[in-house]
Amino acid sequence: MKNLILMLMVFPLFILSCGSKNESEQMMSFIPGTYARQSDGEFGKSYDTLVISLQNKAANQFKIVRRWRYDRVLDGKPIDPEYKVTETSAVYDASSKALQESETLDAFTFDVKKKLLFDGPNQFNKIK
């Protein structure tokens, strides 16, 4: 009887641990890709693209290349756009389900069903 009770207590934990590993693997395969967002403001338009690629699978490490363009408007007339490209790395933390950037410790979170990436309040759509 004691063995049966013990098995009934351990079995649900085993099932839950199997499910979370599968979620982690799903997230790891979802993360690589290209994400984009656009925002309009009074003084111009901003275009932001993130390209995330797997760098080291054993360490859950990813490379992030961010390409940014800002089309400024001054006195109602467009002026030359500004460009910026940055490259950094991040590590996926399965417990928090977030990709943590190594230098600034910013966290990127994901919505797999809606194909979205969140960088704080900024929302990126996965395009590739």
Q: How many Å apart are CA 36 and CA 7, to the nearest integer?
A: 49
| CB 71 within 8 Å of CB 62 | no
- Report the C-alpha gap between 112 and 33 in whole angstroms: 12
What is the span of the domain harbouring residue 8? Answer: 2-126
Mind listing the pLDDT tens digit for each residue in 3-17? 444 444 544 444 445
Which helix or strand (DSSP H or E) is residue 29 part of? helix 2-30
Q: Contact, 57 vs 124, CB < 8 A?
A: no
Query: What pTM was estimated for this model as a whole?
Result: 0.76
* Residue 59 DSSP class: T
Q: How many domains does the chain have?
A: 1
pLDDT in tens, the chain (128 residues): 454 444 445 444 444 455 455 777 888 889 999 999 999 888 889 999 999 999 999 999 999 999 999 999 888 788 889 999 999 999 999 888 899 998 888 999 999 999 999 998 999 999 98
